[in-house]
Structure 1
């Protein structure tokens, strides 16, 4: 199978999705890119937290972590 990525307006998106849903599911799989991106971020954060066996942080370390997280998700 081939993979394509499109950027479309809301009205074009609705029309496109109606068209795509008429195609046999064996021929076409609709992948939500936002979900895949979010899932990858959550998995990466989980692995980071799992390997970090530190049970406590200093105030400075906590502020740095929070700052990094806010920058990452404040888009």
Structure 2
């Protein structure tokens, strides 16, 4: 059975404005969350790369110090 109010055009089939605003907010939060996670991954990779470079430099400095000590 159909809704009689809908037959007369009294019942709107579309969602309310409030619902649309809620959906927009949810989408905005989802986009921000996605961007945050992506930036977080980039920062973690950069941090790890910098730590590796630091360890390599320290290792080479240590080797150089040992070579100078022997000579």
TM-score interval (norm. to shorter): 0.3 to 0.5
What TM-score comes out, normalization by structure 2 length? 0.35
**Structure number with higher helix proportion:** 2
What TM-score comes out, normalization by structure 1 length? 0.33
Q: Which has the higher contact order (CA 8 A, sep 6+)?
A: 1
